[in-house]
Amino acid sequence: MLHQLSVQNRRAAAAAAGILALAALGSNAPVHAASYGTPTISLSASYLSGAVGATGDPVVSVTVAQSGADVSALTVAASASSKSSVAGTSDVTVTGTGATRTLSVAAHARGYTDLTIKVAGLGGKTATKKLSYAASAAVQNSSDTRYVTGSSDASAAVDVGGGYAVVADDESNVLRLHNLAVSGAPVRTWDVASKLGVSKEIDIEGAARVGNTVYWTGSLGNNKDGEYKADRNTVFTTTVTGSGASTQLTVGGKYSKLRDDLVAWDEANDDRYGFAAGTEDGQAPKQIDGFNVEGLEFAPGSTSTAYIGFRAPLVPPKSGGKALIVPVTNFDKVAGSGAKAVFGTPIELDLGGLTIRDIRKNAANQYLIVAGSWEADDNSDPYALYSWDGVAGHAPVKRTSLPTTDPGGWEAVVSVPDLTASGTRAQVITDAGAADLYGDGTEAKDLEHAEWKKSRATWFTVGG
């Protein structure tokens, strides 16, 4: 019995040893390596604009993936720069660990560079994309400056709440919704041309909001070559629904004869302002005795009388002349349903020899006027912000001069704060269409890529 158990034990021990040996052999046997695909990488934009010393510059979303790998194992970074003096690889920051990362660039100098963005996956596999980057020069008040990209000729802006504004461009018939708290492309756009039946630019220059209706006006003048273009003689309305990022616009009524009505009214009043001569064929609009509208706002407490603010003429047309406002007493019906315009008593304002580039008021009937030169190439000429109470015969008050050493002419006030409160600020936007932003001699309006076109929005203290 003892012998039998001993044999059984020996057999069990041998079997166990065999199992252990097989296990050991298995642990050393070759296994198949994990299989990884080639990573993929895509950018939300192939072109990006920034500025030296900027705050809140535009960013790009980078989407990556690799079959067989957890996306968190992938790394994304810039691997090369064609001109590191503008921005090098170490100036590119990528944040996030998921499938979509955020890429930003800090510029060193004005100019262009092509950045190679590489995703490194598992198995030593990589993929790249090119990001074409353009940097404009540093500007004054850089910490208070944001850039609206996608166009460069901002001409009017309407506050829609939450830091958002609808911005018009005088080189197109597209209205753009921007978040003015950050720099970047519009979050939504509306091309109003087909709804208004126009084929050329309206040259949108002024806007005013009453309730949920926004009134817009073209410049009403000839083009820069002195040619009459009918589409510039357009005023129209849009209806706002929603607010902030959810804002939607619907095109309403229009009128195409306001220029004609103004000329006829002036002729009936002894050609007091020379509107007929200012609109003749061959007459450029931005002359001291020209004809060009850039401001639109409603009279104090009124939803029907609108102030038409002129960039030209200066009154009288000589150095030290005054800025001109012509009230349209039925503007709600003119723009809304095409009624013939009825005019009130004109208003002449002393803006230190400057004219009106924009006019905006708040609910308390406090007005801010962007004052600038009537000249066409006036980006280095004086600009200033004036406050006013909207009452004829009451003098405007200069609040601050606007800087003129940086590219672009000041064009639009987004909204007016309480001007009696100390330290309150207003955001003002430039038209940078004629500016050489990147040092290559190309005007911003002629840049090949929309992402490189931009206007500047800056905060200035106006209250107190």
What are 87-116's pLDDT values in tens digits?
999 999 999 999 999 999 999 999 999 999
pLDDT in the model for residue 378: 65
Place of tokens 């597209």: 174
Q: Are residues 313 and 364 in the same domain?
A: yes
Are 437 and 34 contacting, i.e. CB atoms less than 8 angstroms apart? no
For every residue of 76-135, DSSP letters joined together read EEEEEES-TTT--GGGEEEE-SSSEEEEEE--SSSEEEEEEEEEE-GGG-EEEEEEEEEE
The average confidence (pLDDT) of the chain is 93
For residue 119, give its domain range.
Answer: 40-136
pLDDT in the model for residue 377: 73
Q: Are residues 101 and 189 in the same domain?
A: no
How far apart are alpha carbons 257 and 346 in whole angstroms?
19
Are 414 and 396 contacting, i.e. CB atoms less than 8 angstroms apart? no
Is residue 20 situated within a structural domain? Answer: no
Are 310 and 295 contacting, i.e. CB atoms less than 8 angstroms apart? yes
pLDDT in the model for residue 30: 38
Give every residue of the chain whose pLDDT is below 50, as ranges: 1-33
Are 402 and 130 contacting, i.e. CB atoms less than 8 angstroms apart? no
pLDDT in the model for residue 23: 39
DSSP-derived letter for residue 46 is S
- Is this structure's pTM higher than 0.85? yes
Q: How many domains does the chain have?
A: 2
pLDDT in the model for residue 390: 98
Q: Are residues 420 and 445 in the same domain?
A: yes
pLDDT in the model for residue 376: 81
Domain boundary among 86, 113, 136: 136
Are 323 and 355 contacting, i.e. CB atoms less than 8 angstroms apart? yes
CA 214 to chain centre: 18
CA 405 to chain centre: 21
Is residue 23 situated within a structural domain? Answer: no
User: Which stretch of DSSP H or E encloses residue 253?
Assistant: strand 248-255
CA 218 to chain centre: 19
Is residue 316 situated within a structural domain? Answer: yes
Q: Where are the alpha helices (DSSP H) in 119-235?
A: 193-196
Q: Are residues 294 and 196 in the same domain?
A: yes
Length of the chain (residues)? 464
Domain boundary among 136, 161, 190: 136
Is residue 12 situated within a structural domain? Answer: no
How far apart are alpha carbons 459 and 464 in whole angstroms?
15
What CATH number has the domain bearing residue 123? 2.60.40.10
3-state secondary structure of 306: strand
Q: Are residues 186 and 96 in the same domain?
A: no
Q: Are residues 338 and 416 in the same domain?
A: yes
Count of alpha carbons within 13 Å of 444, Cβ hemisphere only?
Answer: 31
In the β-sheet with 383-388, what is the strand arrangement from edge to edge?
355-361, 367-372, 383-388, 397-402
CA end-to-end distance (rounded Å), the chain: 112
3-state secondary structure of 273: coil
Q: Are residues 50 and 122 in the same domain?
A: yes
Domain boundary among 136, 156, 184: 136
